[in-house]
A and B are shown apart, each in its own frame.
Chain A
Amino acid sequence: MFKSSTLKAAVAIIALSLSFFTKADAQSYLDVTQPMFEDYFTSSTTAPAKPDAKGFIRRWSLLEPIAKPELRSNNMFTDSWLRNEFAKEVFPGQMTVIPKDGDKVKLDKKTILKWHCVDSKLFNVKLYRFATGLGLHATEGLYQAVTVIEAPREMKVRLAVGSNSGSQWWLNGEDVLLLSNDRRMVVDDVVSKVITLKEGKNVLRGQIINGPGMSDFCVRFLDEKGNPVRNLKITNE
Chain B
Amino acid sequence: MKSLKTYILAFVLMTLGLSAQAQLAGNIYIHDPSTIVKCDGKYYTFGTGSGGLISDDGYTWRTGAVRTGGGVAPDVIKIGDRYLVGYSSNYPGTRGYTKGDVITVWTKTLDPESPDFGYSEQELVAWAGADDDCWAIDQAFLLDPTTGRLWMSYGTYFGAIRIVELDPETGKRVEGNEPVDVAIDCEATALMYKDGWYYLLGTHGTCCDGTNSTYNIVCGRSKSPTGPYLDNVGRDMLEGGGRMVLSAGNRATGPGHFGLYVEDEGCEKMSFHWEADFDRSGRSTLGIRSLIWKNGWPVAAEPFKEGTFEIESERRGYALEIAVDFVRLAGGMRAFGVRDNEAVVSLEEQKLEDVIGGWPEGNIDVRANDYMFRPHQKWTITAVTDKGGYLGQPYYKITIAGTDRALAATADADLTSVPQYTGADEQLWRIEQLIDGTYRIMPKSIGGKANEHLCLVSTGDSSVGLGTYDFSSDNSKWNLRDR
Contact = CB atoms under 8 A, between A and B. Distances in A.
Interface of A: 1-15, 17-29, 32-35, 72-75, 123, 126, 129, 138-139, 162, 164, 181-182, 184-189, 211-214, 218
Interface residues of B, number: 59
Contacts of A138: 96
Interface of B: 1-4, 7-8, 11-12, 32, 48-50, 69-73, 88-99, 129-133, 135, 137-138, 156-159, 184-185, 187-188, 204-209, 212, 214-215, 235, 239-241, 257
Contacts of B12: 18
A132 to B, nearest CB: 9
Contact of B95 (A6, A162, A186): A6
A18 B72 CA distance: 13
Given A2-B187, A139-B95, A32 B11 contact: no
A183 to B, nearest CB: 9
Contacts, number: 190
Say what secondary structure dominates the interface of chain A. loop
The 6 closest A-B pairs by CB, nearest first: A73-B2, A186-B240, A12-B92, A187-B239, A29-B96, A3-B207
Contacts of B73: 1
Given A1-B187, A74-B2, 7 more contacts: A1-B73, A2-B187, A25-B93, A32-B99, A185-B184, A187-B240, A189-B240
A212 B207 CA distance: 13
A19 B49 CA distance: 8
A5 B92 contact: no
Contact of A6 (B2, B98, B135, B184): B2
Contacts of A23: 89-91
Given A3-B207, A32-B130, A185-B185, A21 B89 contact: yes
A7 B11 contact: no
28 contacts: A1-B48, A1-B187, A3-B157, A4-B206, A5-B96, A6-B1, A7-B1, A7-B2, A8-B98, A9-B92, A10-B208, A13-B4, A14-B7, A21-B70, A24-B92, A25-B99, A29-B94, A74-B1, A74-B2, A75-B2, A75-B206, A123-B239, A162-B240, A182-B206, A184-B205, A185-B184, A185-B240, A214-B158
Nearest to A36: B131
A201 to B, nearest CB: 28
A182 B93 contact: no
Given A22-B69, A23-B89, A32-B129, A139 B8 contact: no
B158 A213 contact: yes
Contacts of B1: 3-4, 6-7, 73-75, 182
A187 B235 contact: yes
A46 B207 CA distance: 43
A34 B239 CA distance: 23
A9 B157 contact: no
Contacts of A184: 157, 185, 204-205, 240
A14 B187 CA distance: 20
B131 A35 contact: yes
A200 B11 CA distance: 57
Contacts of A15: 90, 92
A12 B96 contact: no
A29 B91 CA distance: 11
A29 B98 CA distance: 8
Q: Which of B96, B99, B129 has the most CB of A within 10 A?
A: B96
A1 B50 contact: no
Given A75-B1, A214-B157, A1 B188 contact: yes
A126 B159 CA distance: 10
A124 to B, nearest CB: 8
A155 B305 CA distance: 52
Contacts of A18: 11-12, 49
A212 B235 CA distance: 27
A182 to B, nearest CB: 5
Nearest to B15: A18
A138 B276 CA distance: 30
B8 A10 contact: yes
Contact of B70 (A20, A126, A129, A213): A20
B95 A21 contact: no
Given A19-B70, A22-B69, A35-B131, A7 B7 contact: yes
A9 to B, nearest CB: 6
Contacts of B185: 164, 184-186
A9 B8 CA distance: 11
Contact of A75 (B99, B130, B212): B212
Given A7-B2, A184-B157, A13 B8 contact: yes
Contacts of B157: 2-3, 184, 213-214
A3 B94 contact: no
Contacts of A7: 1-2, 7, 207-208
